[in-house]
Structure 1
Amino acid sequence: MTTAQHLDTIDLLRSRAFPAEPGPSDVGSQGPGFHVAELNGQFGDDGADGYEDGDGDAAADQRAQEHGALLNVLERRWGEPDIFSLASTRLRVERDEEVPDPWRRLSEQMEWLHLWRIEDRWIAVGLTRFQLLAVVTETEPP
């Protein structure tokens, strides 16, 4: 996907109502108070990214480039993001403390993300080992 397509997806999610129940969506997953978009496509539950041996490095480089390009455009649009570490959130999850989604799931997938507060929603962009994710949520970060 292109940066323009990623922006279109984020804008779509910003305008979309949140569902009452968690489940899949046309771009990833959703639940009460959040949407998560898998901007570079869905991968299998086993973590395989569909690339053989050395091709995985090329795919990771491509995701990193897409991530950087998207961040540049979003920074021009909304200003400097907060860099939000998910380390303390992950510790809370490990201690079986209550952490709402999408933050619980994000803490299991990545170390940190870029975060903006736009109107009444939080917009986050992060990079996992296999995916470029965008999150739109009304749930405050923990």
Structure 2
Amino acid sequence: MDSAKYLAAIDSLCARDLTAADGGSGVYLSGPGYRIESLEVSHGTRDGDAGPRMAIVEDFYALKSRIGQELDDRWGRQQLPWGMATLKVRLDRGEEIPEPWFTTSIVTDDLDLWQPPGSDRWIALGVGYRDEADEVHVLAVASDIDPV
């Protein structure tokens, strides 16, 4: 798979005005200060056989890794993958987790996270597969809201 289109989508997220929620191509979820886009989505894996779904998940993790390497080359080595377990514990305690980190903590197991040099914006990549009623997604997140 050619990563140029994914990098172009991430570049667009870096430049996008995030002050208001907006729709448009690839939007998974957006709101003031953030946007989550689906860079790639499976077809026909909702409520289906777990075997083929997990094969897609593995392929999407490989794609996320390739895109992540390109971003590492561009912006420097990313932070360690950010596991969602801490956010889930905080949710269980009744803490409020702001978007987009609330949604990503529910649909992904971990995120690769960067803060591009000279920017206050956070960029994250994840594989959304935990909701079996939804397709599998490679998600790109742009947020002006610090990860919590």
Q: Deviations over 1:66-98 (max 9, x none)?
A: 112101111101111112122111111222211
Work out whether 1:34 is the aligned partner of 2:34. yes
Match of 2:122 in 1: 122
Aligned with 1:39: secondary structure?
A: strand
Q: Structure 1, residues 4-59: CA drift from partner, whole Å, max 9, x if none?
A: 111000111111111434x6442122111101011103768xx718x777543543
Q: Unaligned stretches of 5+ in structure 2?
A: 130-135
SS of 2:147's partner is: coil
In the alignment, the residues of structure 2 paired with residue 138 and residue 43 of structure 1 have an alpha-carbon distance, to the nearest angstrom, of: 31
Structure 1 residues 11-50: aligned runs within 5 Å: 11-21=11-21, 24-28=23-27, 29-41=29-41, 48=46
Identity of aligned residues (%): 30
Question: For the residues of structure 2 that align with 1:60 and 1:104, how far apart are their CA atoms?
Answer: 21
**Preserved contact between residue 19 and residue 30 of structure 1 (Cα < 8 Å):** no
CA 1:18–1:43: 2 relative to 1, 3 Å: farther
1:1-142 superposed matches below 5 A: 2-21=2-21, 24-28=23-27, 29-41=29-41, 48=46, 55-82=52-79, 83-118=81-116, 119-129=119-129, 130-142=136-148
If the length of structure 1 is used for normalisation, what is the TM-score? 0.83
Matches of 2:23 and 2:43, distance apart in 1: 14
Distance across 1 between alignment mates of 2:63 and 2:20: 31
Rate the CA distance shift 1:87–1:76 in 2: closer, same or farther, 3 A.
Answer: same
Question: How many residues were matched structurally?
Answer: 138
Q: Is the 8 A contact 2:60 2:137 kept in 1?
A: yes
CA-based RMSD of the aligned residues comes to 2.4
Query: Does structure 2 retain, via aligned residues, the 8 Å contact 1:41–1:131?
Result: yes
Tell me the secondary structure at the aligned position of residue 86 of structure 2: helix
Report the TM-score, using the length of structure 2 for normalisation: 0.80
Residue 100 of structure 1: how far off its partner (Å): 0.4
CA distance in 1, matches of 2:50, 2:84: 30
